[in-house]
Amino acid sequence: MDLTTRYLGLTLRNPLVAGAGPLTGDLENIRRLETFGAGAVVLPSIFEEQIEEEKHLIEHMDAIGSDSYPEALTYFPRVASYALGPARYLELLRHAVAAVDIPVIASLNGTTDRGWIQYARQIEEAGAKALELNIYIISTAIEIGGDEIELRHLSILKAIKQAVTIPVAVKLSPYFSSMGQMAARLAEAGADGLVLFNRFYQPDIDLGQLALLPNLELSSSKEIRLPLLWIGVLSGRVHTSLAASTGVETADEVIKYLLAGADVVMTTSALLKYGVGHMEALLDGLKSWLSARHLDTLDHVRGRLSLRNVANPSAFARANYIRLLQSYQPTI
Ligand SMILES: Cc1cc2nc3c(=O)[nH]c(=O)nc-3n(C[C@H](O)[C@H](O)[C@H](O)COP(=O)(O)O)c2cc1C
């Protein structure tokens, strides 16, 4: 069976990608993910804040003289508190690239197009095959309009594209008034791929403590529908690769995303829940499903149920929504 997949101009042995998360921040896990069949891995993000903080530390040390280095560190205690600083991130990246044959994709996470962007060049020099740019903007400033946020996405992408020659995928949120147009504009601005979607970590409220509870819940398969909808709508209509991210628990979600038109399918939560060996279960499940249908490539699967290919495109649209609401049968 040939599951060879093109993603961001790279050739992957199959469409299963270990998404950004804590597990891919460890070299041994990266090796094991390769053994368990992953087509590629995305490292956890390095954040703009980390890069900027280290830059300020270095500037400060230059100003006061390098002899004072240990003392200077105490002025910036937060630098040491990050799991993986910018230098160690590059080290992990170099080691990962040397350790595995599958593509290693680095991840940058930020919200501005300022100086930190130059770090992307170091990521390229360290051997990343591609860069995933996670633009995680939660605009709590009510005076800032959607147009400004959209332009910010485009200008960050353009700055990154100027800094590197490796392919760049943009991981974005679904919260745009016109998701489709935003996707098309990112493609025009040079995005080699779109990762749909970022999962925002909204706080809950602790009723006992009367406090915000910023805990992180892993996803479940129920959450695939929003990315599934947009992958289906965009497949074959924007000139970029499409990666599905969110809610993959079993091979069923992988297959659904491929049918909607995803080039690759990423998983993070399921690996955290079931272990890195779960990658093999996903791959085996995909192969069994294909075998049962006598398919030995993904050619007749990918995008088969996208908006472009489906017999009844209104299933994606408002007409279907009205039909669904009006035909719902209460069970109580
Ligand atoms: C514990 C944890 C850490 C994550 N860290 C990152 C990260 O560093 N960068 C990033 O782009 N996404 C990160 N993500 C988001 C995942 O890559 C993914 O987009 C999201 O969890 C949805 O996919 P899933 O349903 O397979 O988990 C993280 C997710 C989890 C659960």
For 87-105, the pLDDT digits (tens) are 999 999 999 999 999 999 9
Backbone angles phi, psi at 153, to 5 degrees: -55, -45
Average pLDDT over residues 291-305: 97
For 157, half-sphere exposure in the C-beta direction (CA atoms, 13 angstrom radius) is 28
User: Is the C-beta atom of 227 inside 6 A of ligand 1?
Assistant: no
The more confidently predicted of residues 78 and 60 is 60
**Distances from the Cα of 216 to the Cαs of 3, 19, 219, 257, in angstroms?**
33, 16, 9, 24
| Per-residue pLDDT band at 77 (split at 50, 70, 90) | very low
Structure tokens at 137: 């903007």
Report if residue 321 sits inside a domain. yes
Report if residue 47 sits inside a domain. yes
- Which helix H or strand E contains 130, and what residues bound it? strand 130-135
Report if residue 14 sits inside a domain. yes
Cβ-in-10-Å burial (0-12, 13-18, 19+) of 26 comes to middle
Boundaries of domain holding 171 = 5-327
User: What number of residues does the chain have?
Assistant: 332
Geometric angle at alpha carbon 226, from 225 and 228, rounded to 5°: 60
Which of the residue ranges 28-42, 176-190, 213-227 would you say has the lowest mean pLDDT? 213-227
Report if residue 174 sits inside a domain. yes
Backbone angles phi, psi at 76, to 5 degrees: -125, 65
* Residue nearest atom 29 in ligand 1 by C-alpha distance: 21
First to last CA, the chain: 48
Average pLDDT over residues 197-224: 92
Report if residue 209 sits inside a domain. yes
pLDDT above 50 for 80: no
| Per-residue pLDDT band at 63 (split at 50, 70, 90) | low
pLDDT above 50 for 110: yes
pLDDT above 70 for 66: no
Looking at residue 74, which CATH number applies to its domain?
3.20.20.70
Please tell me the pTM assigned to this model: 0.91
Domain tally for the chain? 1
Report if residue 66 sits inside a domain. yes
The predicted-structure confidence for 181-201, as pLDDT tens digits, reads as follows: 999 999 999 999 999 999 888
Report if residue 332 sits inside a domain. no
The confidence score (pLDDT) of residue 326 equals: 84
Report if residue 208 sits inside a domain. yes
The more confidently predicted of residues 319 and 217 is 217
Pick from 89, 265, 268 the residue to mutate for probing ligand 1's pocket: most ligand atoms within 8 Å of its CB.
268
**Coil/strand/helix, residue 193:** strand
The confidence score (pLDDT) of residue 72 equals: 44
How does the average pLDDT of the chain come out, rounded? 91
- Neighbouring residues of 248: CB distance < 8 A, sequence distance ≥ 6: 221, 224, 254, 257, 265, 266, 267, 269, 270, 282
The more confidently predicted of residues 149 and 65 is 149
Centre of ligand 1 to C-alpha 136, Å, is: 12
Pairing of strands 241-245, 211-213: unpaired
Pick from 24, 132, 171, 199 the residue to mutate for probing ligand 1's pocket: most ligand atoms within 8 Å of its CB.
199
Centre of ligand 1 to C-alpha 71, Å, is: 35
**Distances from the Cα of 203 to the Cαs of 44, 76, 110, 175, 217, in angstroms?**
21, 28, 20, 17, 10
